[in-house]
């Protein structure tokens, strides 16, 4: 597979990096792509951890909140023979 890059800045940066690091363009691009993928994986893991922490915090707040109506759910949702609330 070949890639054509038609961006002067990309070409200049790639040429500078290949000259500075003395690595080939394909090796540099591969390393940069792997680094970008790893950063994305790290970001995804961080966001998942934050979501789980937020979920746990919400559960704790919910469980710590006072009970608004102590009746059993069957009594709260009671309907008569016509399907109307009791």
**Domains held by the chain: number:** 1
DSSP string computed for the chain:
-------HHHHHHHHHHHHHH---HHHHHHHHHHHHHHHHHHHHHHHHHHHHHHHHHHHHHHHHSPPS--S-HHHHT-B-TTS-B-
Give the per-residue pLDDT at 3. 84
Please tell me the predicted confidence (pLDDT) of residue 41.
Answer: 95
**Segment 57-77 mean pLDDT:** 89
pTM score over 0.75: no
**Is residue 78 situated within a structural domain?**
no
Q: Write out the residue range of the structural domain in which residue 45 sits.
A: 8-62
Q: Does 32 have pLDDT greater than 90?
A: yes
In a domain, 44, yes or no: yes
- pLDDT band, residue 59 (cuts 50/70/90): very high
pLDDT of 81 higher than 80: no
């Amino acid at each position: 597979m070949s890639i054509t890059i038609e961006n002067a800045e990309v070409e200049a940066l790639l040429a500078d990096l290949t000259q500075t690091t003395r690595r080939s363009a394909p090796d540099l691009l591969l390393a940069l792509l792997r680094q970008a993928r790893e950063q994305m994986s790290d970001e995804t893991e961080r966001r998942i951890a934050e979501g789980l922490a937020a979920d746990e915090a919400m559960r704790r707040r919910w469980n710590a909140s006072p009970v608004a109506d102590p009746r059993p759910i069957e009594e709260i949702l009671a309907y008569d023979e016509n399907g109307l609330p009791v």
